[in-house]
Amino acid sequence: MGRLLVVGSVAFDTVRTPFGEATEVLGGSATYFSTAASFFTDVDLIAVVGEDFPDEYVTFLKSRGIDVSGLERRSGKTFRWRGEYTYQLNEAHTLDTQLNVLESFRPKIPDHYRTPDALFLGNIDPELQMDVLNQVERPRIVACDTMNFWIHGKRDALWKVLEKIDVLVINDGEARELGQDFSLVKVAKDVLARGPKYFIIKRGEYGVLMFHEKGVFGAPAFPLEMVKDPTGAGDTFAGGFMGHLSSTGDFSDAGLRRAIIFGSVMASFTVEGFSLDRLRPLEYQDIETRFRDFKRLTHFEDLS
Amino acid sequence: MGRLLVVGSVAFDTVRTPFGEATEVLGGSATYFSTAASFFTDVDLIAVVGEDFPDEYVTFLKSRGIDVSGLERRSGKTFRWRGEYTYQLNEAHTLDTQLNVLESFRPKIPDHYRTPDALFLGNIDPELQMDVLNQVERPRIVACDTMNFWIHGKRDALWKVLEKIDVLVINDGEARELGQDFSLVKVAKDVLARGPKYFIIKRGEYGVLMFHEKGVFGAPAFPLEMVKDPTGAGDTFAGGFMGHLSSTGDFSDAGLRRAIIFGSVMASFTVEGFSLDRLRPLEYQDIETRFRDFKRLTHFEDLS
């Protein structure tokens, strides 16, 4: 089992979906990511919270075996996000963002975090992502998320990060913005030519595509009877993906494909509840059961 | 090799997409379906055209081995459809529909069509679908397509058809309208309880789901560098699916999954050109090659 370092946000989310709502619940990319990854590997967390962040949440993260030495507590309030979803569950509508302590966040890496086996650069300012990358010994695998805000506002800084990473994980809308082309295949060619060896495109309820030099892997999302809240699906996808890779150290094509499925499994659980509600009672056996269900979902016989 | 009977529309389409346009080109559900199916099996076509329908199109259908004894030519003009697509390629915007000879279409089944091995009831008035069903000996497999217009306007007649068929093939928007629920899993349970043994939900560029009593099969769409026109994708999907089943007679779960992939292969070729442009030069070997590409696209190792 390797050590997986993640930097990202910890937040209070207020979310409304067609299936319910939740107010000031635990959220944030690093929270979702590290919780999902903790089922597979040892996770070191870097993030910032305010004075209002309850001890019970820290206790929860610790209970998942997550090292929270890098969870900085500063004076001020924790980052807050408020948003809603219509039946177009793939698209979150942000109603309000209060950066609070996140605004002046400068990730500081504790000494014992500096030799991770795997690193995930969550969706923060690409300059901060680069800063983190520069503070650690190059891990065996580095993945990165981003969003349209950075693609538009810090395009050059973002491309500098992308040149140094192994895996870019973004959604289809972001991919089209980044590549400035409608064809995901063309965008993938462009991205792969400029740095990352793997380019993962998340498509929400429609699944995921992973492009690499030798081809492409595609998996549908797991068909669910009840989706409650898509928030965190992409982050827990990345957490399952990187957690599995960190745990196995198997970066072969077969290993990466399996990691994609583990990521998809974690995302499928996440959306069945608000906040981390569905991940809290989860056991590793549940994950393996759904992995096998995924195999049954997608398997067909090749031509002889 | 079995005989596959299809009833549906033959049309002149005028289409604009972000990638080009085409004026009064050969289209229609039965045209796309029968052309796709003709790569796998013998096809008997029932449809109606007007006096303006060029002999060269009939010659083309014949050249694909399609029996056109049931292609009725009536006085008046051929059915015309005009539509456009934005970058939301999954959704066609109809600009104009001229039913013309389709308005008074009453399918008449030639005697030598009355014992098909497989039957596809294309998207026409459910009362006409029932009429066709009543004119033939019950084939080993019957599939049916429909659209929101009939789901709203002839709900009862449609359900009567669905009680008598084996496979319902519609898109996700139609599925939610039919089942009056957002959850495709819930809709599928409802549909399967009321008649069809298989319920196939087409999701355009996102692939396809097939629900049946014992579970669900999901496949992504083939990632393409260039999509030109989505028109006919769903019909050629159904053509490849039913063509393969008619050819093999293998209605096992494995057989149906393979048929889904053959359908997806045919749809992936169709959208690479306007009208039937990409299907015309196609050879069966191209189909097998893309089937194998599909296997590489979706394969991952199960847990031990």
Percent of chain A exceeding pLDDT 70 equals 100
Residue A106 in contact with partner chain B when CB distance is under 8 A? no
pLDDT of residue B91: 86
Contacts with B, A 207-226, CB within 8 Å: 207, 209, 211, 215-220, 223-226
Give the distance from residue B268's alpha carbon to the nearest chain A alpha carbon, in angstroms. 14
Q: Do A220 and B207 touch (CB under 8 A)?
A: yes
The CA distance from B238 to B234, in Å, is 6
Whether residue A304 has pLDDT greater than 90: no
CA-to-CA separations, A259 to A37, A50, A101, A205, B294, in angstroms, rounded:
11, 33, 33, 18, 19
Whether residue A184 has pLDDT greater than 80: yes
A128, burial (CB in 10 Å: exposed 0-12, middle 13-18, buried 19+) = middle
Q: Do A302 and B288 touch (CB under 8 A)?
A: no
pLDDT of residue B29: 96
Band of the pLDDT at A171, cuts 50, 70, 90? very high
Q: Do A300 and B258 touch (CB under 8 A)?
A: yes
The label of the residue with tokens 């599925």 reads B175
Span A216-251, pLDDT tens digits: 999 999 999 999 999 999 999 999 999 999 999 999
HEC assignment per residue over chain B: CCEEEEECCCEEEEEEECCEEEEEEEECHHHHHHHHHCCCCEEEEEEEECCCCCHHHHHHHHHCCCEEEEEEECCCCCEEEEEECCCCCCCCEEEEEECHHHHHCCCCCCHHHCCCCEEEECCCCHHHHHHHHHHCCCCCEEEECCCHHHHHHCHHHHHHHHCCCCEEEEEHHHHHHHHCCCCHHHHHHHHHHHCCCEEEEECHHHCEEEEECCEEEEECCCCCCCCCCCCCHHHHHHHHHHHHHHHHCCCCHHHHHHHHHHHHHHHHHHCCCCCCCCCCCCCHHHHHHHHHHHHHHHCCCCCC
The label of the residue with tokens 């069903």 reads B133
The CA distance from B44 to B112, in Å, is 9
Across the interface, of A206, A227, A291, the residue whose CB is closest to B203 is: A206
Among chain B residues, CA nearest to A297: B217
Span A256-299, pLDDT tens digits: 999 999 999 999 999 999 999 999 999 999 999 999 999 999 99
DSSP state of A178: H
CA-to-CA separations, B192 to A297, B38, B131, B177, B200, in angstroms, rounded:
18, 29, 23, 16, 11
The CA distance from A264 to A210, in Å, is 12
Contacts of A220 in chain B (CB under 8 A): 206-207, 209, 218-220
The CA distance from A219 to A48, in Å, is 34
Contacts with A, B 235-254, CB within 8 Å: 254
pLDDT of residue B89: 87
Enter the pTM of the model.
0.96
Nearest CA-CA partner of B43 in B11, B12, B7: B7
Contacts of A223 in chain B (CB under 8 A): 184-185, 209, 216, 218
Residue A284 in contact with partner chain B when CB distance is under 8 A? no
Question: Which region among A85-99, A120-134, B223-237 has the lowest average model confidence (pLDDT)?
Answer: A85-99
Contacts of A290 in chain B (CB under 8 A): none
Mean of pLDDT over chain A: 96
- Degrees (nearest 5) of the Cα angle A77, A80, A81? 170
* Predicted ipTM of the assembly: 0.94
Q: Do B215 and A18 touch (CB under 8 A)?
A: no
* Other residues' Cβ atoms within 10 Å of the Cβ of residue A121: 27
Q: Do A298 and B218 touch (CB under 8 A)?
A: yes
Give the distance from residue A45's alpha carbon to the nearest chain B alpha carbon, in angstroms. 29
Give the distance from residue B44's alpha carbon to the nearest chain A alpha carbon, in angstroms. 27
Among chain B residues, CA nearest to A186: B225
